[in-house]
Structure 1
Amino acid sequence: MHPDPLPTLQRVFGFPQFRGVQSEVVSRVLERERTLAVMPTGAGKSLCYQLPAVMNEGTCIVVSPLIALMHDQLRGAEAVGIRAATLTSADENRGETLRRFRAGALDLLYVAPERASGQAFRDLLTEAPLCLFAIDEAHCVSEWGHDFRPDYRLLSPLMDAFPDVPRLALTATADAHTRADIAKQLGIPADGMIVSGFDRPNIRYSISAKANVNRQIADLIAATPGPGIVYAQTRAATEKLAEALGRSGRPTRAYHAGLEPHIRAKNQADFVASEDMVICATVAFGMGIDKPDVRFVAHAGLPKSIEAYYQETGRAGRDGDPSVAHLFWGADDFARARQRIGEVEPERQAGERTRLQSLAALVETAGCRRRILLRHFGEDPAEDCGNCDNCLGSPDAVDATETARKFLSAVFRTGQMFGAGYIEEVLTGQSTERSLMNGHEKLSVWNIVEGDETALLKPVARALLLRDAIRSNPHGGLEFGPAARGILKGETAVSLIVPPKRERRRRGVAPAAGNPADTPLFEALRERRRTLAKDAGVPPYVIFHDSVLRDMAAQRPMSRAALAVLSGIGARKLDAYGDAFLEVIREAR
């Protein structure tokens, strides 16, 4: 029977109890069992190896995919008094780290899979006792995962060389197929899998069709205080977005792999330290960021898959506070995605088409967005989550099947050569030199759409592209896709989602992500935190999360003993920062 971990949890981390499945995972690790833990972002995965590492003799080897992520986790571990180090190409203290490891003076040693899989590292591990192997972002080990890293496949032989050392694999993003593959690749038994719920109830999911996406994102930013991430699909798009959004007055940066390394590093460091910056990035950004206070994640285009969308939106609200995830999509996103599917190996195409269909169902539904997300991961949630755009403002569904048939007929009658704009002109009878020259004004489809039906043409075109009933050819014209036949024959209905009309909110108001503690004392505590963070050279959240400051503002403790009762204040942080925050609270009396 292992020792009770609760006293260490309270003393080191300042938490009165475990959350979710943490207790179950920690218990298995302390029993030296091999374990795969699938836990949503923000559920406290790192604690599941940090706590056993503090309690047990020997060093825990943490395999993590990115240097930035390791350094972020290192800061957090050291802040609570854990003896930790990284062994990466970016570290100048390699000799000191090796000395500490050999002396048994490290609780945690973070390494990348490329280093961990080498013979030299394996030899090093024979020179000091080990207590645990922790494989972070374990979906990288599976070819079914969305971030497959070949070097992760080489970790099993490393761990097999130390058969008595328990192993813990951790991920936030893995469907049933990927979970089974992770367990197989890392030698974890079927009964060693612990799957927590995937729900992130503090995130509000919203999805909108693009209509001047720069303006739409600017409105989102204006209504949402705090740091945010905007994902764009190309490097050029990140820079254009950063320039456009920066005009709003919010500090804004771009991030992509094509930037000079020192600029990229500075932009990332500025964002991590900021309390209100917006970073416009490709999906290369984020996996290495453990920033808990991101208040919104916006997608300026379609993500690669449901798994990628879940992971990317999961970078919002890791501290548990209300946050927003807003996806802006266009029919051209689906057209480009289908084109990319045609370029991959034939054996992968069926799986890629299934992923795209899952995304189409997510953006097209009139029902609960969260329900579709969670069902994708094998859960059976309630019909109404109460915190997505559809549940908060039930949209109406309009039967647009007849308009869709007219649109498809016009595409066919004009020879499957013209774009959506011209098809609209034909259907609404807008005479032009081109329509006269082509003789299209004599067609049966000329001027057959009028009145209120004209407003349906653009969303119908979008819906037909999304369903693969029409496709863009290399010359920009529309041609039939495989789903066209069923619609034309009346076998398949086309319904459109009409979002409810919302009043335009006053700028700066954000019901989903506003700060419920905008009091003078809370702001004074935040200001003290900024000063302490600057002096310590760490981001503000490493000192304390906003939730801790809110508790201070609400409870107004007047002594160290009273402060120590608050969740999130362990012994090391109480000693380092307690008096500074008590001073602010006393001054506010």
Structure 2
Amino acid sequence: MPENAVKDQVFLNLKNYFGYDSFRVNQQDIVEAVLNKKDCLVIMPTGGGKSICFQLPALSFKGVTIVISPLIALMKDQVDGLNANGISASYFNSSQSSEEQHAIIENVIRAEIKLLYVAPESLAALQNILTEKYISCVAIDEAHCISSWGHDFRPSYQQLGFLKTTLPNTPFIALTATADKTTREDIVKQLRIDHAQIFISSFDRKNIGLEVRTANNRISQIVKFIKARPNQSGIIYCLSRKTTEQLSTKLKANSIPAEAYHAGLNFDKRSKVQESFIHDKTQIVCATVAFGMGIDKSNVRWVVHYNMPKNIEGYYQEIGRAGRDGLKSHALLFHSYADVIQLQNFASGASNEAVQIAKLDRMKQFSEATTCRRKILLSYFGELLGTNCGNCDVCKNPPQFFDGTIIAQKILSTVYHLKQQEAMGVIIDVLRGAQNATIISKGYQEVSTFGIGKDISWQHWQHFVIQLINQGFCEIAFHKHNALQLTDFSSKVLFKGAKVALTKPVAVTEVKPVVKEKKTRLKRTKTKAKARPAADNLFERLRLLRYKIALEEGIPAYLIFSDATLKEIERERPLSEDDFLSISGVGQRKLEVYGDEFMAEIMNFMGSKVKKPKKADTYTVTYELYKSGLSIEEIAVQRKLNTTTIYSHIAKLYSTGKKINLYDFVSKSDVEAVRKAKEALDAPKALRPYFDYFNESIDYFKIRLALSIIEKD
């Protein structure tokens, strides 16, 4: 197929299957690279659209795309979402019977599925089909798990290097939301994709507000926080199993629906809590950190860390489970020294203890920061933010700054003269003119900056160095014994006259209570001002309709439409199929399955306010072409619409009394089968239950036509 034709088909698939008219940053380049059989490493924030980077190319490949995934829950969620979009996908893992596994392998051999999700441990059972005859692409999701430098190392991932040897001409795409420079290098090396194209998207999740508070009266603070956000879904992360149980109990005592989730619960209980949360039956989950990994629940509005995470990678990934739909969300972290001590104890004795402690120190520095928190997050992953974000507690309640340019120049100059090979402690010792064994043995007393900071205490120098790290003027190389290294911003300070604003050391407890009380009162007032009765709120009516359909179909509500899509439907109020299809997140499949019900709900809400179109609507155009004798396929070509859309027009026209013989398009036997299914299923309004009832043997458009006949009868 010519290159332009391939590109056109990719865009068509993007809209038809995923409901999007355009790509996000980097997505198109990644998709094209994979289609050109190039290996790729993709670093993209949670909610940034990683999955489309391999799911979309999979539709264009002849064989199957194997997706390596660490958790069964992640696989099921992804497969449910793909099937809801009309894409054939399955998963293969130890929870299935041998008969189910054999059937899946047969489907791969017959090229009847496009994507197969599998855990690393289950690859051995697929060895007979791990050939380039059947496999067109390999995607490694959560790729940071392969690296011992990563925050979530899994030994089972280290066996994956053999895959490239087995499938040398197959494109590999490794994806993760959280990998610093060291981890990225390790991923490429271990997967044996040394020439992979590396795509790094911005880590900036602007829609997530960042806030840190001291851990005084955490329970009462959390209760107030949640009650200021009624009907919003959220996750509270805790360090221990016991804390999740205690916290959920206390929240229930305050009339807040919450459930505990941790590894100590049996499998059935964990699955029940997770399913309940995904299906919007449970509003809040108090969980240990494994919860939520890979679950694409797009309408989580907030994440609270009851305890401090052990590193910034983990923190970033966990807060990224909020606001995946791009709508305004919030991340609240409670900071206490008791947490720091507990995490230090956890790291003690580990094979990479020094790395864990160094990363914990960075997490502690983030929590105590007096500079823009988003700058700190982004600089940790090598992304430098030139201006403050305006959407964190420090930006909204800034401390007093002074011109710290000279102090910054002294620090950065020392880093430079020590050849970027020493950690923070040695840098400070040189500045203060220390005469210890390390300084003398390395001859650092001869460095030009030796002793130029004697007038500033060691603790204050530490405070200033941390601020420079947090602002991106230097960075810690964890894989080089925590050596401080310069960044692109450093030269601007040293040679181009850039100014640096610093704060004087101040205890966290001296500033945080003021921030907390001020924000809490403002939030509560704002929430009350925006509250509207559900009857007058179209979004709420659409949300309830989505929930009802989700219960009928047995899938999570966000797989039908995300909150962001519902917001756009509320704003645009589409009343024709063309208008509904123009909504971001609405593809051909979802228009066909859900469009009528949602447009009917909009009509009911608007009532007499509905304006009649001045020109012939889309149904009338289709009807005129039908009367002229054109076939469905010819009408679709002339109108540049999908045939399923034309069939839905025909069904609508028939129901309004137009002279159309639907039996030209659906057999009497199919109509009778749908009539019996309607009785057996207790007359559901959604089409999906019928589709499943017939084991996908009757097309959606035929079900719709049959129902039109039955309803008119």
What is the TM-score normalised by the length of structure 1?
0.80
* 1:132 positional shift: 0.6
* 1:40 positional shift: 0.4
Q: Which blocks of at least 5 consecutive residues in structure 2 are unaligned?
A: 403-462, 467-503, 607-713
CA contact (8 A) 2:44 2:175 kept: yes
Matched, 1:359 2:363: yes
Change over 3 Å in CA distance of 1:299–1:517 after alignment to 2? farther
Larger proportion of helix: 2
CA contact (8 A) 2:26 2:201 kept: yes
Structure-1 residue corresponding to 2:26: 21
Of 367, 376, 380, 1:372 maps to 376
Change over 3 Å in CA distance of 1:307–1:507 after alignment to 2? closer
Matched, 1:315 2:314: no
CA contact (8 A) 2:131 2:166 kept: no
Structure-1 residue corresponding to 2:261: 255
CA contact (8 A) 1:223 1:506 kept: no
* 1:6 positional shift: 1.4
Matched, 1:58 2:78: no
Aligned amino acid, residue 571 of structure 1? Q
CA contact (8 A) 1:142 1:181 kept: yes
CA contact (8 A) 1:101 1:128 kept: no
What is the SS of the residue equivalent to 2:37? coil
Structure-2 residue corresponding to 1:445: none
What is the SS of the residue equivalent to 1:81? coil
CA contact (8 A) 2:233 2:284 kept: yes
Structure-2 residue corresponding to 1:36: 41
What is the SS of the residue equivalent to 1:505? helix
Matched, 1:495 2:495: no
CA contact (8 A) 2:68 2:119 kept: yes
- 1:357-403, Cα deviation, whole Å (9 max, x unpaired): 211210111110111111100111134101101111214589xxxxx
- 1:377-436, Cα deviation, whole Å (9 max, x unpaired): 0111134101101111214589xxxxxxxxxxxxxxxxxxxxxxxxxxxxxxxxxxxxxx
Of 519, 528, 533, 2:545 maps to 528
Structure-2 residue corresponding to 1:101: 108
Aligned amino acid, residue 337 of structure 1? L
CA distance in 2, matches of 1:11, 1:130: 24
- 1:15-56, Cα deviation, whole Å (9 max, x unpaired): 010001111111110111000000001111101111000112
1:383-398 counterparts in 2 under 5 A? Answer: 383-395=387-399
* 1:508 positional shift: 5.9
- 1:424-450, Cα deviation, whole Å (9 max, x unpaired): xxxxxxxxxxxxxxxxxxxxxxxxxxx
Change over 3 Å in CA distance of 1:358–1:241 after alignment to 2? same
Change over 3 Å in CA distance of 1:29–1:315 after alignment to 2? same
* 1:332 positional shift: 1.1
CA distance in 2, matches of 1:106, 1:566: 28
Matched, 1:269 2:280: no
CA contact (8 A) 1:104 1:128 kept: no
CA distance in 1, matches of 2:281, 2:507: 39
- 1:502-559, Cα deviation, whole Å (9 max, x unpaired): 44438866679x8999752211111111111011100110100111111111111111
* 1:189 positional shift: 3.2
CA RMSD of aligned residues (A): 2.6
- 1:103-135, Cα deviation, whole Å (9 max, x unpaired): 11010000001112x2x3122334952221000
CA distance in 1, matches of 2:278, 2:71: 15
CA distance in 2, matches of 1:564, 1:275: 29
CA distance in 2, matches of 1:68, 1:171: 17
CA distance in 1, matches of 2:394, 2:320: 19
CA distance in 2, matches of 1:56, 1:306: 37
Structure-1 residue corresponding to 2:85: 80
- 1:272-313, Cα deviation, whole Å (9 max, x unpaired): 111761100011211142211111111111101011111111
Of 324, 333, 336, 1:327 maps to 333
Q: Greater CA radius of gyration, 1 or 2? A: 2
CA contact (8 A) 1:228 1:276 kept: no
Matched, 1:283 2:289: yes
Structure-1 residue corresponding to 2:205: 200
* 1:260 positional shift: 1.9
Percent of aligned positions with the same letter in both sequences? 41
CA contact (8 A) 2:238 2:288 kept: yes
Matched, 1:9 2:26: no
Change over 3 Å in CA distance of 1:235–1:28 after alignment to 2? same
What is the TM-score normalised by the length of structure 2?
0.66
CA contact (8 A) 2:258 2:282 kept: no
Matched, 1:151 2:156: yes
Change over 3 Å in CA distance of 1:254–1:194 after alignment to 2? same
- 1:481-505, Cα deviation, whole Å (9 max, x unpaired): xxxxxxxxxxxx8422413454443
Aligned amino acid, residue 496 of structure 1? A
CA contact (8 A) 2:259 2:282 kept: no
Matched, 1:48 2:53: yes
Q: Which blocks of at least 5 consecutive residues in structure 1 are unaligned?
A: 399-462, 467-492
What is the SS of the residue equivalent to 1:75? helix
Change over 3 Å in CA distance of 1:386–1:61 after alignment to 2? same
Aligned amino acid, residue 567 of structure 1? S
* 1:158 positional shift: 2.1
- 1:160-201, Cα deviation, whole Å (9 max, x unpaired): 211111110000000011001101111223551111111111
Deviates more, 1:517-526 or 1:267-276: 517-526
Structure-2 residue corresponding to 1:455: none
CA distance in 2, matches of 1:166, 1:511: 49
Structure-1 residue corresponding to 2:191: 186
What is the SS of the residue equivalent to 2:521? coil
Matched, 1:577 2:594: yes
CA distance in 2, matches of 1:189, 1:319: 34
CA distance in 1, matches of 2:77, 2:593: 19
CA distance in 1, matches of 2:531, 2:181: 37
CA contact (8 A) 2:132 2:167 kept: no
Aligned residues: 495
The structure showing larger relative contact order (alpha-carbon pairs under 8 Å, at least 6 residues apart) is: 1
